[in-house]
A = this chain, B = another copy of it.
């Protein structure tokens, strides 16, 4: 019997006291389960990613104090805990403390620092030196190597050296953000590494939301033959106990694609709202598919009693849309307010009439409607302390089919990284899970429209979403060129027009609320395009 406990916990950035309590709680439970070793995620002590908090020396000190005081509480079990190490020259390291009998026995410092995508680790950390800190320990006669996250993604690094040094078990502590297909990639990698090094790999991942990132958990143990011995659930805290000497350990099932993304959105929304001290949210419910899905996510994240939907019809909103909004609200059982904006819109138009005299109505008048809605939602936010969820999706954010300070007003954007085609897919999946009716069929059937003028439809302006989303994925996620995207000559002008829209709407994205990353390239920390940009292929 050799039991390892993988403490898949949901830490909070900067919450030393909360994270410390959480670590002690899981430590106690691991001991109670008679584990010889308990493993916590990367930077468990301070939360991940702490970003520029790492530039504050008092933050580093607080983290060092916590790891020291935690160490004093560890007896009868060995704990591997992620923290920020510091040397006498003030350099800091993304590190793992290996704690035994009341003291830190040794420290491993991450060798490979990711500095791409959402990661800026070279901004903060120095590289660990394997010669001086090799992460090798011996527990009950078994040689074990400890490494941190990125290390194991690199073909030759700490893990290969540890295996060469005789390690039979490789522990990797990680805070690996969720993306579609990431778990598959991660598991394939771990299987490959286990086979390459002929070791058992113990991989402990973080779980929970932090700003735009969601960590999906799914911590796992893979044996030297590449078999998954044990796996924790996705998107939930769990203390996974795996006895390396048996084949009877819990193996959570991997979620089906739509459910996986949906659950990422739910935990990402819940953690953003609650970790920021809110309990209730409001959203504008139009009767369209986007806001219907956001309402469902909000309910699943926070409970019906914590979600208020506000419908704000204008002169351009069809009766059918308004009716759908009421049906969705009834089906979800949430609070609902219907506040027509016509009166306010009229006063704006009256006040502006003399200045806009002789000019045809254009986007100016249209956007005022979206901005009135944003202002009303924010008034409720300011009055009742609710956080406003925006309902825009990634397709809109990409081409700027949204109003800055209008429907973009709000604290968090659950669908920010969800293409319109995926919105439908998720809504269908969510409907399939509901006990009764949820999002009415008419919402799926109606042509998407912003309803800011008469008979407007999205697809008239943007092309069919099926086609649009393909171009967006190739350009945004793939950084592909026009010639690579437009396979046929007749597609060139559409692709060019779309790319032009994406480029020129960078200024809107710069002022957009954060939202949950689920793709390889979201419009967040992993998208750093200049606004001032004259580049044309």
| A binding-site residues for B, Cβ under 8 Å | 12-16, 18, 49-53, 55-59, 62, 115-116, 120, 122-123, 209-211, 271-272, 275-276, 337, 339, 341, 343-344, 347-348, 350-352, 355-356, 359, 362-365, 367-368, 371-372, 374-376, 378-380, 382-383, 404-405, 409, 411, 479, 481, 507, 510-514, 525, 527-537
A1: shortest Cβ distance to chain B, in Å?
38
Q: Are B351 and A378 in contact (CB under 8 A)?
A: no
Q: Decide: A58 near B537, CB < 8 A? Known: A379-B348, A379-B352.
A: yes
Bound form: Cα–Cα A378–B116 in Å: 36
Set of chain B residues within 8 Å of A525, measured between Cβ atoms? 528
Set of chain B residues within 8 Å of A405, measured between Cβ atoms? 371, 374-375, 378, 405, 409
Set of chain B residues within 8 Å of A123, measured between Cβ atoms? 115-116, 120, 528
Q: Are A535 and B14 in contact (CB under 8 A)?
A: yes
Q: Decide: A479 near B411, CB < 8 A? Known: A367-B379, A374-B405.
A: no
Q: Are B347 and A14 in contact (CB under 8 A)?
A: no
Q: Are B374 and A356 in contact (CB under 8 A)?
A: no
Q: Decide: A382 near B411, CB < 8 A? Known: A123-B115, A528-B120.
A: no
Bound form: Cα–Cα A533–B348 in Å: 39
Q: Are A507 and B364 in contact (CB under 8 A)?
A: no
Could you write out 27 A-B pairs with CB less than 8 Å apart?
A: A12-B534, A13-B532, A14-B530, A14-B534, A14-B535, A49-B530, A52-B527, A57-B481, A116-B123, A120-B123, A210-B532, A271-B532, A275-B532, A339-B352, A343-B351, A355-B383, A359-B383, A362-B382, A364-B383, A367-B382, A368-B375, A368-B379, A371-B375, A374-B405, A510-B513, A511-B511, A525-B528
Bound form: Cα–Cα A148–B297 in Å: 50
